[in-house]
Structure 1
Amino acid sequence: MSSTDVNRLNTASAPHIPARISVQRVMMWVCLTLLPATLAHVYYFGLGILLQMILAIGSAYLFEWWCLKWRQQPMQPFITDLSALVTAWLFVLCISPIAPWYVAVVGMFFSIVVAKHLFGGIGHNIFNPAMVGFCVILIAFPQSMSLWLPPVGLLEAMDSIKTLSLLEIIDWVFTGRPNEHIDAVTAATPLAAVQTGLQQGYSLSEMTALPIFGDFGGMGWEWIANWLFIGGAILLYKRIITWHVPAAVLMTTIAASTPFYLFNGDVFLSPQQHIFSGGIMLAAFFIATDPTSGCSSFRGKIIFGAGVAILTVLIRNFGAFPDGVAFAVLLMNMSVPLIDRLTIPNPYGKKSKVNEHV
């Protein structure tokens, strides 16, 4: 064997075990399992999400290319691993479909440049990139995040109001100038409507009786959550993720929200409303399961998922923001080194500190 052939061999550090599945394949499965929920989003809230996806994905890959060139990294393996696509996709599922164009651009700048590449690129980021971008635009552009389109079922009940056309959505996104028709159909999310109603002195039963709420959560939102659950189940079946984080997030959300609801059901949301409104289901299967910014051990994953759920419930009940999923994930990302230190078992043969002193 020549020296040239030797140099072509994979000489990475031991153990020399090929990966069971590549990053690209993992990301491809994530995209495929997000597709049904995205189509449900289009059905209930219109074509705006597709426009936002074009803006976010285009911005993500532009910033990815720029950062790789700046860091003098090879383009092909990182451009084609689909990680930027997944980051943009998750980000878009969190923002308003009629958000101005610069929301996606700014969000992707902080997701790709700041949260990903300034920490060393894929596999080195300590924070979930999509949630970093979302938190930035949530704080920087709160008004843009507060306006959503009513779900299709609600529009059908309002005979005098028709859904926005694609041209009207494009005009709203790129000009930022609402016309009379757009003003008539914009609305708040179910969680935001509950928060505003409680601040105005209405009871939760009065708020959830509004048409924007469905059987379990927000109208439209509950079906998107159902498809996210099915997509997450496929990821579990394919062993892309493990059960620890999703189970911890969902079960702890129920456990943490039930006492509040039993104490005062006119102030605090029920467990099913927590799960089927907002981003809990997305976080349980697609965000908190991020292997890079999450915990490594099985016990650590359970603690991480439970922490995301508890913080989300507390922020929703007592915080200034209607949905606290993104903030909860980032706070738990900061706790990962400590959780891993306390939960990762010692390797076989390592002496404990007690034995070392004997």
Structure 2
Amino acid sequence: MIRDPEKFKALLTGVRQFMRTECLPLEEQVDVKDVIPESIVQRMREVGLFGHSIPEEYGGAGLTSEELSLVNIEVSQVATTFRARFGGNTGIASESLVVDGTPAQKNQYLPQLASGRITGCFALTEPEAGSDATAQQTPAARDGDHFVLNGRKCFITNAPIADLFTVFARTDGNARGAKGITAFLVERGTPGLTTPPAVRKMGQHGSPVGDVVLQNVRVHESAIVGGLEGQGFRTAMRALNKQRINLAGLCIGPAIRLVEEMANRALVRRQSGQAIGEFQLVQQLIAESNTEVHAARALLLETARKRDAGEDVTTEASMSKLFASEMCGRVADRAVQVFGGSGYMAGNVAERFFRDVRVFRIYEGTSQIHITNIAKRVLAQAAEQR
């Protein structure tokens, strides 16, 4: 749902201008140096990128799912590491508070997240709890009106620079599966919470990812998201359901950029006395890519509109993420093929995006997990209708 077309058009134009004129020229520099200049981060704050999905009453833009999808498609046409810097605040790192936070928690943290004064992160994944998030082992032992957390989270985006951690831990050691998991808000500086240096990655250089180490971290019960024990897995799934829609948009943007890059390359690169765009097999690579981009975009926007209408889009969100991430991987591979030897060389847009988008098929649920979940839901629906 687009609430005010003219107002939204102006917002989207502003976002496009910032990303294309200020971020795009720095793509190669950020990839090589593995850091986004603080001056650009400050500009992100000034432009309002940190608060797109946070409600207006807390200083955000309160974008609908459809509006946010279109923004995500736009911002990700430039190296995706830029969006990762503000994406936690306007996505998974704030969504737990938006959907389940207490009034006091929302008032305390959402305005800071929306403005970019603080950076949030979503500390769910553990060494043995990745695709199966219900396998959480981090214990949170009650001690009066406090809890003591011990454990280690891994592969956490923005962990090395985060100020606020949404940490998931078991408050009921006897419970199994989704039961007994609680979400806590833990601020940096809390004794016992440390973040080792960022790990090296295949791509998305400039977006720090690392571990969150918890050693006798003591937090008050008021830090429980929503104030209710045992509801953490529900909170996580509500946040991830929306994030999967966001991620689908973040897969479509790079694919759009790569189709443009392939087409431009095919017009100027010559072989056998003619532009390679004259060869039908090169045309096929471009045509298939463009077709898949449009299919993914149509599926995403239909899903986003359904969510805005209040419908349950759990299956559609999963399908959107699965199709868009796999599509983006195929398009990136074709781009390297069209660029040929140049596409394999470092510093090339096709090579860089090929590395950057590979992770999309892993996080927010691997493709294999989404395939399994989609099939289970379709079969369950069929069984109910028999």
Task: Calculate the TM-score normalised by the size of structure 2.
Answer: 0.25
TM-score normalised to the size of structure 1? 0.27
